[in-house]
Each structure stands twice: as structure tokens, then as C-alpha cells.
Structure 1
Amino acid sequence: MINVIGLGYIGLPTALMLAANGNEVVGTDILQKTVENLQQGKLTFEEKNLDTLFKKAVDNGIQFSTNYQETDMYIITVPTPYDLKTKKIDPSYVIEAVKTTVQNAKNNSIIVVESTVSPGTHDKFVKPIIHDAQKILGKTLHLVHAPERILPGNMVYELEHNSRTIGADDIEAANKVKKLYETFCKGEIVVTDIRSAEMSKVIENTFRDVNIAFANELAKIASYNDMDVYEIIRIANKHPRVNILNPGPGVGGHCISVDPWFLVGDFPELTKLIKISRDINDSMPTYVLKKIHDIMKEKQISDISRVGLYGLTYKPNVDDVRESPTLQLLEKQREHLAPELKVFDPYISKKIAENQYFNFEEFLKDIDLVVIMVAHEHIKQNKELLNEKVIFDTQNIFENSEKVYKL
């Protein structure tokens, strides 16, 4: 039996995928409400095709509990935030999960950590727990790092089709985990050591962060010189060895906006480019806010309450608001003690911000300037409703439009 620890954005789809493919699974979470919802057949977040996977997993007997199980295979998927001051990883969730796991584990158990961690985290924090448990409890325990590699909005597909990395010091344990993942993973599964697995996952997201920072810097240059950054990038990307990502109002989510800080925190003198890239991307909500005020001045809009932000999530077509650029922008606005901007997001049904609307037409009725922060399909399908509005499109959904303000 496999005990998946942590039933959030990574743990729940992983547990469901394992169960749906014939594995005996118990999903564990410390949040009673999360477990109760799942036991009652209620998903805790929206995700494409997750409901179908949930039904199949339930039909195959998946169980949900607040208790760690006594078994020989654990998959830990708890959060790994970073310290805002030091930029170093906060490993406390992983540490607590591993400590509890070793108390319940059978002899010869395998503990798989899927949580993304900074290079050396297992050596510094996890292995000592394993070693102490082996001495005190007399158990043989095996540690494996298999960093998750899925994208919100396409989790189910990517769980099946993305390649995976299995990092372990014990090749026999690595092969057992590989065999388990092969029950659902159609992508290549690479076996390596733990430190290489740690580093490879962090640099995947760091690479994208640096690329986005380059695009955002290009957007600022293009805006200053009255050029179209999207046209420039489109043409540049026709070169066979160039692949510039799109600029945007900021970088959110719990991967690209977080993982690079692990490297900056641990190697401050060696991460100049990564640090500058993080600073550029973190500056974008402030840059957007400044442009909002410039547009208001140009269009003679004097009342900031007549400005509305479309989109609260960190990316299109999901309900995930972690590290959301819109929420960052609103925080910058509050720092200046300015009135709150109006906000609307079709994917957010609970109140998480002041002046938040839940009806799109009412939202539009009360604003003159709409700032498109997220490129949800909803806004693409309702472009015509914005015809009478001043539009600041940070996502380039209004292509080739001279009437629309861009980054």
C-alpha cells in the first residue's frame, strides 16, 4: 500500500493517478476539512479531467485519512516555501512529514520525497532523520527524491506523459520506485543520484524564470521606444535557436516564482543573473501599476475606483492564486494607502480581495479601464463586451489592436 502525504495541488492528483492505475493508496493530509471533503466525494480544487480521475480512483478503493499509515511505501508532497528574508528554503513541512513517516514506517520502507527542494536539502535535513530513526528504531529505511513535474491546468495529462526523475543513493530502491511510477507514467523515467535530482528540478524552473525576465525587460525597452514587443519576439523566435517566452504582469505559482530563490538563498555570490531575473519579474506588478496611472492620466480617468483588474489567478483557466501577480499588485496599491482597484475572476468563487465582483457584467458596468491580468478563455470569448472600455492588455489577447494599451 502507498501512503501519499499531503493532498494539495501535487499530492491529490498523484494519489488519484496511482489508485486509478491499480495501486492500493491511502491519501493523508493534516487538514481535517480537506480529508472530509474528499471522503464525501468533493474535490478540493478545480483541474481539467481531475473529476474523471477522482471517480476512477474512488472506484478502485482509494482512501483518505488524517493519519499516517503503517506501510512500506510513502510519497511526500508537502509544500516547500522560502524565507522572505534569507531566500533560503523553509524545509519545515518536509522535516515534519519525514519525522512522522519514519515513526510509522515498516522495516525496509521507501520514503519518496516529491516536494521540490534546494540542492543539498536531503543531505542537510532529511538523511539525518532517516539515520537517527534507523539507529533508534532499528529499521532499514530508504530515501528517494522524485521531484514532481506537472503544470496546473494540465496536471492529469502531464502526470501521465511527462518524463520523471528518480534520485536515490540505493539503486534497488530507485528501481522499485521507477517500477511504481511506470504503472501510470508514459514518459521517460531517468534514474540518478539525489543531489542531481534536486538540482535538475530547481534549474528547470529557474531557466524559465530567467527567460521570462528577459522577455519582461524587452517589454520595458519596447514600451520606452514605442515598439511592439510581441512582434519583435515573434520574429526573433523564427530563428531556429531562439525561443523567447512571453512577457507578463509578473510571475506567480509555487514553482517559477519560488524555486530560483532556493539557489539565491544558498549561493548568493554565485547567482547574480538568477537574482536579477527574480527582481525583474517581481517588479512587474509595480510596473503594471505605474502604467495604469499613466493610462488614467492620458485618458483623463481621475477615479482609481473606475479601474478593474481582470484575473486573480496566477495563470489562465485554473483557480490557483498562489503568488498571483494580481494579488501582488493589490498589495503594492495598499502600501501607498490608495483605494482598492476592482477585481473579477471567473474561476474564483470565494471572496479573497476587496472590491471583488462575482458577476462579469456588473464588474464592467462599474469600471472605465479594464486591465487584463490573466488570459482566461472566458475573456477571450467575451472580447466584444469590452468595446466601450479603455483596455490595458498585459497578456496580448487583443493582437494587432492599436486601440489597446500593451506592456
Structure 2
Amino acid sequence: MTIETISVVGLGYIGLPTAAVLADAGCRVVGVDVNQRAVDTINDGCIHIVEPGLADVVARVVADGRLRATTTPEPADAFLIAVPTPFNDDRSPNLAYVRSACEAIAPVLKAGDIVILESTSPVGATEQMAGWLAAARPDLRLPQPGGSAGDLAIAYCPERVLPGNVLTELVRNDRVIGGLTPACAERASAAYDFFVEGECILTDARTAELCKLTENAFRDVNIAFANELSLVSDQLGINVWELIRLANRHPRVNILQPGPGVGGHCIAVDPWFIVASAPDQARLIRTAREVNDGKPEWVIDQVRAAAERRADRGGPARVACLGLAFKPNIDDLRESPALAICDRLANEPGLSIVAVEPHVDALPARLAGRVDLADAQTAIAGADIVLLLVDHIVFADAHVHLAPDAVVIDTRGQWNGASRR
């Protein structure tokens, strides 16, 4: 069957760029989101997230009538589900948003439609999705792994893009498409033929699900090595940035850069999905997560120690937290260790916290009333302790505003790792 209309369910950091790229490639796209403000913003030809180049594409495709947004699903030929998949307090996967999306689109499904889950998910999630759709639409035959094709094509195709470069990577990166059956994978690949220039590689759904988790767990383990190395180096009085620079001159060594922790909607979450699926086997993956989850506490300890050394000066120590996003040059605060550190420091007695985040207009609610928001020059010039948490490019030369006796804790090595304590 020919695909003429695609519905993208979830218009966040992945869903909206995907909808925009599809529409720009000539497909008619209906975006669905529960956030009325986001829907209205998109229909006005504007965007509610920060992603380079996205505003121009959305303005163009909305003006051309190829993209519109709604809070209520409508009939389409293919449905791409790109909703959040957080974890619960016990770090088990939470698929409530996926289930809600399935139940929302179920009434408008028809025989021949394609349903693709793009959200990062635990192994078996695509089969669960098929089960929810079957319960909501008993009149439709759902495909069975290793069995019949059914009335719908059900597949899993995870995103694998870098925030800040999403529009390019959506088009150029290879895609792994896992179907409940081979026919499902084949039919689902047609949805990506509109815009993907990379290779579409077909497999089964469970392998595709674990593939996405594996990619992010691999990165998490390597980041954990760098973060643990920073702890060892600090204990031994060695500059970790210099150490890594020298070690990486070995032709087969490529150590990543340490930081204040790991954030974002993928790397900080996805490895726990593997641990939940195979807790006895995923020992290294669990340990890496624990190392990275523990790094913010180490950073907080550094600030506490610096404040104690300055306690005899009287009054609260003024701490400038540079950066709240989970990575450089974006506005995304999801699972951000920088945000968590700033939040924790605001509860510390004897500290006065000012935050600098050039990519947001206001502090998140959890910091409001407890932390001041300022520009970098103002915050740094008045700070006793300067805590560099995110290496936004705008911070590259900000250290020129340091007070002569300011304590510097550079968690990203942006200022050549020359922390002053």
C-alpha cells in the first residue's frame, strides 16, 4: 500500500523534527501531542523546543500545509510513536506513555496501517504494544512473532540522533527496523524511504530493541571509565585532562572526557532497561550506571570542601553554577546531572546559588525561588566558587571574569582543567 499520510505521536525532541523532516520530504504529516500549547505553537509555524534549523523547516512545512498538529489522533497510513519512556523509582521501565499512545490511536486504525514504535524501550515492548492494540481493536488481526502477518504492520525503529544535529542525522544515519514479522519490517521501512539517506537494516523487533539499548550502554560504560579515572586522578593529585590527553596518544586508546555525571533521555536511562531485563548478567552495565549516577555527589563534595575552606570569611559562599542542560549548546534539561547538582546545592546551608543557562529564559520550577538566574559575566564576577558543569561554547572565555581569589571547579575541562581550589 502507498503511504500518503503519516501520523507522528509525540511532538518532542524527536517527534517534532521527525514530523518536520517527513513533511519537508513531501509526505502529509499529522502530529499528535497531549500538550495543547505545543500543538498551538506548531500550528502557528513555530517551535517549542530548541534544535538548530528546526524553526525554519517547521515554518515552511506548516505554511505549505504539509504539517499540522492536533491533540486528537486522526486516520493515517502509518503511525510513528515517539513518546517518553522513563523509568520508575525502582529503575524498571515505565511504558505508560506508550500504552496511552496505543490506546489513543487504536480507534482510528484500519487494516493495512503501519504502527512503528520509535521510543527507546525495553526488550519485548513492541510485543506489548501489539497486545495493547489487540485488546483495543479485537476486530483487527495483529501480527504474531514468527507467525501470520495480520491486518497491521507492527515494528520498532529507534531514533539514534545527536541533539543539536538532529535534522542532519535523521536523514543521514542508518536505521535499524525490527518487525514483529519480516513482512512487518519490510512494510515499515517504506515510512523511512521518504527521508532516510542512510541504510535501512531490517531485523526482528527484539533485536532492534536491544540494539538501541546496547548503543547507549556502550557509551555509558566508556563514560563511566572516564568518570572513574577522574576520581582516581583527584585522589592521586593528577590532572585528569592532561592524563587523558597523553593516554590518547596511544594508537589504540580513545578515552572519553569525564564530566559531572551523565544525563539526557537516553544514556542515563537506557542501560537500566538492560539491567531490568537481565539483572544477573548485566553486571558491568549496572556498575557503569552506578559510577555515573554517583559522580554528581562527588562534585557536590568538592563544592562543600571549597565552601568550608572559605567559612572564616563570613556570610554564605556565593556559588555560580555554569550550565543546567545535560550537554553543551542545547536547552534540554532531561535527567541533567548539572540541574540535579544545582538543585542539591540550593539545599546546602551556607551557600548562595546563582545559575547560568543561556539556552533557557526561566529556571525550571524545582529551582524557582531558591536559585537566581544570571548571565555568565555577572554570576562569575560575584562568585566565591565557580562550578563549570556544562561546556557551552559561550563559556569558553568566561573565565576572564573570575575574581582573583575565586575557587574554580571545572568538571568539563573547558578551561584546560585548571581548577583553582
Q: TM-score, normalised on structure 1? A: 0.93
Counterparts of 1:259 and 1:338, CA distance in 2: 37
Unaligned runs of 5+ in 1: none
| Corresponding residue for residue 391 of structure 1 | 408
Q: Aligned in 2, Cα 1:154/1:233: closer, same or farther, shift over 3 Å?
A: same
| Corresponding residue for residue 350 of structure 1 | 362
1:239 positional shift: 2.9
1:52 positional shift: 2.1
| Corresponding residue for residue 7 of structure 1 | 11
Q: Which moved more, 1:191-200 or 1:136-145?
A: 136-145
Q: Aligned in 2, Cα 1:255/1:405: closer, same or farther, shift over 3 Å?
A: farther
Deviations 1:269-323 (CA, angstroms, capped at 9, x unpaired): 2222111111111111110011112233445666544111111111110011111
| Corresponding residue for residue 320 of structure 1 | 332
- Secondary structure, counterpart of 1:341 in structure 2: strand
**Aligned residue identity for 1:371:** L
Q: TM-score, normalised on structure 2? A: 0.90
8 Å contact from structure 1 (residues 222, 228) kept in 2:
yes
1:134 positional shift: 5.4
Unaligned runs of 5+ in 2: 143-150
8 Å contact from structure 1 (residues 309, 342) kept in 2:
yes
Q: Aligned in 2, Cα 1:128/1:23: closer, same or farther, shift over 3 Å?
A: same
| Aligned with residue 63 of structure 1, among 46, 61, 68 | 68
Counterparts of 1:340 and 1:184, CA distance in 2: 49
Q: Aligned in 2, Cα 1:117/1:28: closer, same or farther, shift over 3 Å?
A: same
| Aligned with residue 96 of structure 2, among 92, 104, 121 | 92
**Aligned residue identity for 1:18:** L
| Aligned with residue 237 of structure 1, among 248, 261, 266 | 248
1:311 matched to 2:323? The reply is yes
1:358 positional shift: 3.2
1:267 positional shift: 2.0
| Corresponding residue for residue 248 of structure 1 | 259
- Secondary structure, counterpart of 1:136 in structure 2: coil
Task: Give percent identity, aligned residues only.
Answer: 36
Q: Aligned in 2, Cα 1:41/1:342: closer, same or farther, shift over 3 Å?
A: same
Counterparts of 1:302 and 1:149, CA distance in 2: 50
Q: Aligned in 2, Cα 1:317/1:82: closer, same or farther, shift over 3 Å?
A: same
| Corresponding residue for residue 393 of structure 2 | 377
Q: Aligned in 2, Cα 1:302/1:358: closer, same or farther, shift over 3 Å?
A: same
Counterparts of 2:252 and 2:212, CA distance in 1: 23
**Aligned residue identity for 2:133:** I
1:329 matched to 2:341? The reply is yes
| Corresponding residue for residue 108 of structure 1 | 112
Deviations 1:345-382 (CA, angstroms, capped at 9, x unpaired): 11121122222223333323431211100000111143
Counterparts of 1:268 and 1:303, CA distance in 2: 48
- Secondary structure, counterpart of 1:144 in structure 2: strand
Q: Aligned in 2, Cα 1:228/1:111: closer, same or farther, shift over 3 Å?
A: same
| Corresponding residue for residue 81 of structure 2 | 76
- Secondary structure, counterpart of 1:127 in structure 2: helix
| Corresponding residue for residue 378 of structure 2 | 362
Counterparts of 1:338 and 1:99, CA distance in 2: 50
| Corresponding residue for residue 272 of structure 1 | 283
1:261 matched to 2:284? The reply is no
Counterparts of 2:420 and 2:332, CA distance in 1: 26
| Corresponding residue for residue 170 of structure 1 | 181
Counterparts of 2:12 and 2:355, CA distance in 1: 26
Q: Aligned in 2, Cα 1:258/1:211: closer, same or farther, shift over 3 Å?
A: same
Q: Aligned in 2, Cα 1:238/1:309: closer, same or farther, shift over 3 Å?
A: same
Counterparts of 1:185 and 1:405, CA distance in 2: 48
8 Å contact from structure 1 (residues 130, 141) kept in 2:
no
Q: Which moved more, 1:338-347 or 1:269-278?
A: 338-347
1:203 positional shift: 0.9
| Aligned with residue 301 of structure 2, among 290, 293, 302 | 290
**Aligned residue identity for 2:70:** S
Counterparts of 2:420 and 2:279, CA distance in 1: 37
Counterparts of 2:350 and 2:278, CA distance in 1: 37
**Aligned residue identity for 1:248:** G
- Secondary structure, counterpart of 1:35 in structure 2: helix
Q: Which moved more, 1:355-364 or 1:282-291?
A: 355-364
Q: Aligned in 2, Cα 1:92/1:299: closer, same or farther, shift over 3 Å?
A: same
8 Å contact from structure 2 (residues 213, 270) kept in 1:
yes
1:252 positional shift: 0.7
Q: Which moved more, 1:311-320 or 1:349-358?
A: 349-358
Counterparts of 1:80 and 1:338, CA distance in 2: 38
Q: Aligned in 2, Cα 1:355/1:169: closer, same or farther, shift over 3 Å?
A: closer
Q: Superposition RMSD on alpha carbons, in Å?
A: 2.1
Counting matched residue pairs gives 402
Counterparts of 1:182 and 1:386, CA distance in 2: 52
Counterparts of 1:214 and 1:102, CA distance in 2: 45
Counterparts of 1:47 and 1:147, CA distance in 2: 19
1:127 matched to 2:130? The reply is yes
**Aligned residue identity for 2:96:** S
8 Å contact from structure 2 (residues 45, 60) kept in 1:
no
8 Å contact from structure 2 (residues 81, 116) kept in 1:
yes
Q: Aligned in 2, Cα 1:162/1:381: closer, same or farther, shift over 3 Å?
A: farther
